[in-house]
Structure 1
């Protein structure tokens, strides 16, 4: 990261969470309340558990359900030293926890074992009223699954997200191999920077990538520095965002954006944010506040009022047209 002043660049070096006096529990709480930091805008997630104890007395950090009905296990380590000093590897620990979640047979089972205790622990975050924690959890989970047509696909798969400020080469190698063998596991890197008294976080998805070869460790040769993959083809992991849609002209600053299934609407700004009652905010923040989810598929639930189409539909139609033009 660089600070530019009078056309002169000054390097700003990252710090560690240890330097900042932050514990793993601090990072966990930060992500619990701001999971959109590591969530893809193409995914919706609902946090349903924290520090869930399994039958082997292990504790998983955060648990969520996503728009496919998959249970998502989020494991957090503060720094690479925390990973290296563990008796059990970071990724294997997460796999064991994920395996225990595979035994959850239906939404009611999830609410009973995980979501209701989570709601009870954080009652202040929920509008419980006269409902019990189980009743509210059942309603919220059912509404989430119904909205995403995921009731019939509930917990058919489990996903793993590993979060740390850095990853050792052994972990990256193992995760790359697991991905290439159809295990859905991701590595998200959080790099903190301190500028005066403010702390900034750079969030980077390290894995999965389109090409894993650069991350496999060759145990017969000396380890070499990690390099970026050569394959730069755009995939579903790199779908164009709102800034590209504005540049294409398929949406314009001043257009009205509605929330799907709500009467709430706002005005699209030139920077891709939305103006709601004279308050500027990101579409992600606006929509997740309306739905009460931890993160939301922004482009699916943001509706372009003039056309009646979702931003996802508009984007898809334009990309198909571009492909057709190139083919012809």
Structure 2
């Protein structure tokens, strides 16, 4: 493509050139220009690092690292050459190397980037607030860095590279190629920036095609995002709040036990930090790191019989909340019901006496009456009496909702 200057009634071609001829360098010129004007090549993105190399065993560096509005990581690679050779392989290596980055990592990375770029007093709290203000979703609910996107920026791209990128995009990667062509207008350098892959005119169509191909991947990814709600002690709670209320209830019932005895009950639950922490230790951590990872409000504090105060972790995921629920229901005998939502996978379902008995994939049992979820245990106990199913276990304890529901389903399916 040519660029012309309209002078009078004449179109005068502006001379194309190259970054090499014009002594324009990748890092000192192009990288500096684009990091300060990132929307030109990466709309709706925020740079969090440059020359990023925070990994062991490699000296490779990402030119620019950014996040988008959906909290995805964006790798941006710049080349001033006319073919962009091997950029796709380089970017793939980088994308894989940062794919395990956490939200806490991103906070630390942005803090360092800001401090190196004129903000020496920029804190981790400043970084967390800036990221949270930038993205459109709640990181706690949707997760951080669910995907890694790649943007390749070069004066031109070889046929081999563009073919590779198109093939990779068809297989669920997200790679964009931006062509930057310099022109010399009587000593003034102009740069024409064009997106060539995917073509802007066909981008919406290609996204729809890609989404169709990604159906299985989306199902897997969505299953890792847990929006479940639970009913416990007449409260509807998300994962973190459910954990808090379970521990508060347990503490109230066992005030005279030592904290070591309390914690021994929950030793088998997988967690990346202490599930219960001393209040002062948790408060100090929040001050030092600029963010709290425990429930610290006054009405959330656990108060032991000896006056000691403790707090519960607010960091709960799909796996460890399942472990906690199983311990609370099977060992402690607590009643926790999962609230049915459209995305809950159903394992089996039967109808009896005007009720729908629903067992989810995680073995949670729900009872619906006229399409509305009702308190399950009284209904299940009534149905057990009709079906001659024992209400108590062999040890004499009352069976929980899961056990009652499972036996009812088995009895109905056998009949």
Q: Find out whether 1:198 has 2:194 as its counterpart.
A: no
2:15 partner SS: coil
Return closer, same or farther for 1:233/1:134 CA change in 2, 3 Å cut-off: closer
1:59 aligns with 2:61: yes
| Distance in 1, Cα, partners of 2:107 & 2:205 | 31
- Based on CA coordinates, which of the two structures has the bigger radius of gyration? 2
1:108 is the counterpart of 2:107 = no
Aligned with 2:89: secondary structure?
A: helix
Residue 234 of structure 1, CA deviation = 7.7
CA deviation after TM superposition for structure 1 residue 139, in Å:
1.9
Out of 112, 130, 133, which is 1:117 matched to?
112
* TM-score, L = length of structure 2: 0.45
> What do the CA deviations read for 1:204-231 (whole angstroms, capped 9, x no partner)?
0010138xxxxxxxxxxxxxxxxxxxxx
Change (3 A) 1:235 1:91: same
Q: Can you give the 5+ residue segments of structure 2 that lack an aligned partner in the other structure?
A: 208-415
Q: Deviations over 1:185-205 (max 9, x none)?
A: 010011111112322111100
Q: Is the 8 A contact 1:64 1:73 kept in 2?
A: yes
Establish whether residue 31 from structure 1 lines up as the match of residue 28 from structure 2: no
Which residue of 1 is the match for residue 70 of structure 2?
A: 68
**Counterpart Cα distance in 1 of 2:23 and 2:110:** 31
Partner of 1:47: 47
How large is the RMSD of aligned CA atoms in angstroms? 2.2
Q: Cα offset for 1:233?
A: 6.0
Match of 2:204 among 214, 232, 235: 235
Whether contact under 8 Å (2:5, 2:13) holds in the other structure is: yes
Distance 1:98 1:66 in 2: 15
Q: Structure 1's 171 and 234: CA in aligned 2 closer, same or farther, altered over 3 A?
A: closer
After superposition, the C-alpha distances for 1:108-166 in whole angstroms (9 at most, x for unaligned) are: 12122x212211111x2x4x6xx543232122112223xx1151242000000000111
| Corresponding residue SS for 2:39 | helix
Shift of 1:30: 0.6
CA distance, structure 2, for counterparts of residue 150 and residue 63 of structure 1: 21
SS at match of 2:180: strand
Q: What SS does the corresponding residue of 1:155 show, helix, strand or coil?
A: coil
In the alignment of these two chains, the number of paired residues is 200
Unaligned runs of 5+ in 1: 211-231, 239-328
Runs of 4+ in 1 over 6 A off after TM superposition: none
Pair 1:60–1:169, CA change in 2 (3 A): same
